[in-house]
Amino acid sequence: MNFVHIADMHFDTPFTTLNKKELGNTRRLDQRKALKKIIEYIKENKIEYLFICGDLYEHEYVKQSTIEYINNQFKQIQETKIYIVPGNHDPNLKNSYYNKFNWNKNVHIFKENIEKIEEKAVNIYGFGFNDFYMKNSKYYEIEIKDREKINILLAHGSIEGGATEDLEYNPMNKTKLKNLGFNYIALGHIHKTNNKIEENIIYPGSTISLGFDELGTHGMIVGNIDEETKKLTTKFVEIDEKEFIEHEIDITEIQTKEELIEKINETKTQENKYYKIILTGNRQFEINKYEIEKYIENNNIIKIKDHTKIKYDLEKIAGENNLKGIFVKQLLEKIKEEPEQKEILLKAIEIGLEAM
């Protein structure tokens, strides 16, 4: 049996982390293009199953027209069985489109209780979110009774997350998952793929990148399980035509804002890639990234991040017996008293010294 496994499409997300409003609109259109590419791949390769492991859309923002678009795509692959587990961004609430929309007949949506669907050669288990949080799904109580068949589990959640917030989103233990004995475990929630040849517990990652915290390529998992030997083979197929890139510029030798703007505009970029410019080194002038962004001519550069440090030897200046010395000394003492205000106070020192 063969399958395509995707997750975390997040249809109609507002893309608030991207500076340019028109880019958000572009990426929402890219989401539609991505789904269309997946559907075309399924048709061309006669894929039997499509697994969607949560966060297909954004409950708070999704439009009915988008749901209709998704469903119309599903109608084009009538012979493919589609299994969806709702995630924390698209939970199966009473007023969700999983409940109030008439999905195509080849679509099955799992609810919060663990359910087993029996196909000819495969049993598919799944469960999803019925709220924005899930703390104890009891996945570890699943018992596989028919091991002659292929057994697959679909879920959305975090594996062994160290952060407290991970405990809110169906926390799962990798060892416990392995011990269940599934031939393949299709997951969603983590936006970076972990696909490896020897693994059968897989995150496909987000289908398209949602921003600069999701660098690298994005797409889907295509899998095959031999019905006799139960041998699993998987491959990652890139779907997102765009990619987010970080590029560093050391400004230590740059003397003025104008020179910096020229340097940024000279940055070589590639089409279909979005760039965040990270400024590093020791600055000799005040940097207002919002002011600089107004003069960036390259539309592929969409974000500026300032990681520079002030060039002045503040301890030395603080020891001087003049107005600059008194000014810097007082603010350095203020930083010791209120360390949480350090960045703001250092910026104040910088502006003050330039004014003097």
220 close to 4: Cβ distance less than 8 angstroms: yes
- Write phi, then psi, for 120 (nearest 5 degrees): -60, -50
User: Which residue do the tokens 């589609």 mark?
Assistant: 82
Residue 196: per-residue pLDDT: 76
Report the pLDDT value the prediction gives residue 76, as an integer from 0 to 100: 97
Global pTM value: 0.86
d(CA 41, CA 279): 41
| pLDDT, one tens digit for every residue, the chain (356 residues) | 999 999 999 999 999 877 666 889 999 999 999 999 999 999 999 999 999 999 999 999 999 999 999 999 999 999 999 999 999 999 999 999 999 999 999 999 999 999 999 999 999 999 999 999 998 899 999 999 999 999 999 999 999 765 566 788 999 999 999 999 999 999 999 999 998 766 899 999 999 999 999 999 999 999 999 999 999 999 999 999 999 999 999 999 999 999 999 999 999 999 899 999 999 998 888 888 889 989 999 989 999 999 998 777 788 888 888 898 889 899 899 999 998 888 888 878 877 877 77
Residue 30's Cβ-side half-sphere holds a number of Cα atoms within 13 Å equal to 24
| Spatial CA neighbour of 350 closest among 305, 304, 302, 317 | 317
In 3D, which of 191, 244, 237 has the Cα closest to residue 55? 191
Distance CA(169)–CA(129), nearest Å, equals 9
- The domains of the chain, with CATH numbers, are 2-238 (3.60.21.10), 243-355 (no CATH)
Task: Provide the terminal-to-terminal Cα distance of the chain, rounded to the nearest Å.
Answer: 74
**pLDDT the model gives residue 163:** 59
Answer for the pair 291, 319: CB distance below 8 angstroms, yes or no. Answer: no
**Contact (CB, 8 A) for 227 and 1:** yes
State residue 94's pLDDT score: 94
Vertex 306: Cα angle to 305 and 307 (nearest 5): 115
